[in-house]
Amino acid sequence: MTGDISDWRMVVLISGSGISAFLKNTADSSIPYETLLDEHWEADESMLLGKIEGAVYDNPRILDDFSSEIIINAPKALWIPADSAEDDDDFAAQCYNRIYSASPEDIMTDDFRSLVNVYSLTPGLLPFLQRTFPGARFSNHLTVLARKFVSRPSDVPAFYIDIARAEADILLFDGTKLLCGATHRWRHYADIEYMVMNMIDVYDLNPDAVAVNISGLRETRIALLESLRDKVATVMNTMLPAAAKEGLPLAAALSLSRI
């Protein structure tokens, strides 16, 4: 790392199966990103907090005073109307616990236009992050995707699908309105195709006036592209920042990029 620490931005990505941290120079875009940490493990919620703490303390460089965003890949997330939560501090936690289960102190929220994303990954994580990364911005990975993709113009409802191993993030916009944003499990590309076609039906969309943008695992992405071309009007690869093409997880790459 060269230059002043204030010239660098850090993104930390935490999930149930690992933690990664990346640096990007904001003063000189020609300098490639730097990987500070990239650790993976078998998902085990009972041991998750300890593994995250251990990885952080074993890599003290990520504790430097960088401008930073902590991205939580927490599939157990839901969107609620922002105006419903304004006057009731407990409303978000109440909504979350109707579907999932978490203590109020472990529930995190992100604002996105007229919505609030409510999510939690593991007990004790939020207090640990607040102590360890004071001043950092915390975001769910779905919120990061939504904030970036909402500004991309489309004359028709648009899907953005990012395919990872065993999971796919699917967001659906109608103009600037987020209709749906969720993480889904999959085993075969046909599972993802079914989810897309089901959402088209649920939201009463016209398949001849829908755009589907796909990123992620190459073989599954290509198979899904080919299959959906017979079913919807427009199917294409998602326009990605260079960091995503170089292997960074999409949420981290988008957070570090200007597009």
Return the pLDDT at 37: 94
Q: CA torsion sign, 102 to 254 to 13 to 214?
A: positive
What pLDDT shows up at residue 90? 87
Given a contact cutoff of 8 angstroms between Cβ atoms, the answer to whether 123 and 176 are in contact is no
In the three-class reduction of DSSP (H, G, I as helix; E, B as strand; rest coil), residue 158 is classed as strand
pLDDT tens digits for range 175-196: 999 999 999 999 999 999 999 9
For residues 60, 62, 66 and 67, what is the CA-based torsion angle, rounded to 10 degrees?
A: -150
Q: Give kind and range of the element (H or E) at residue 14.
A: strand 8-15
**16-36 tens-digit pLDDT:** 999 999 999 888 878 888 999
Lowest mean pLDDT among 70-79, 166-175, 239-248: 239-248
- What is the C-alpha to C-alpha distance for residues 96 and 102, in angstroms, rounded to an integer? 8
pLDDT per residue as tens digits for the range 71-100: 999 999 999 999 887 767 689 999 999 999
pLDDT beyond 70 at 259: no
d(CA 158, CA 7) in angstroms, rounded, equals: 35
Which residue is it, tokens 């978000």? 92
61: pLDDT strictly greater than 60:
yes
Please give the model's pTM, rounded to 2 decimal places: 0.93
Q: Enumerate residues 6+ apart whose C-beta is below 8 A from 238.
A: 160, 161, 162, 213, 214, 215
245 residue type, one letter: K
Which tokens sit at 166?
């065993």
Helices 48-57 and 125-132 pack at an angle, to 10 degrees, of 10
Measured from the Cβ of residue 63, the count of other Cβ atoms closer than 10 Å reads 11
Considering all CA atoms of the chain, what is the largest pairwise distance in Å, rounded to the nearest integer? Answer: 53
Res 217 pLDDT > 60? yes
Tokens 């990520």: give the residue. Answer: 62
All structural domains of the chain, each given as residue ranges with its CATH number in brackets, are 153-238 (3.30.420.260)
pLDDT average, residue stretch 141-170: 95
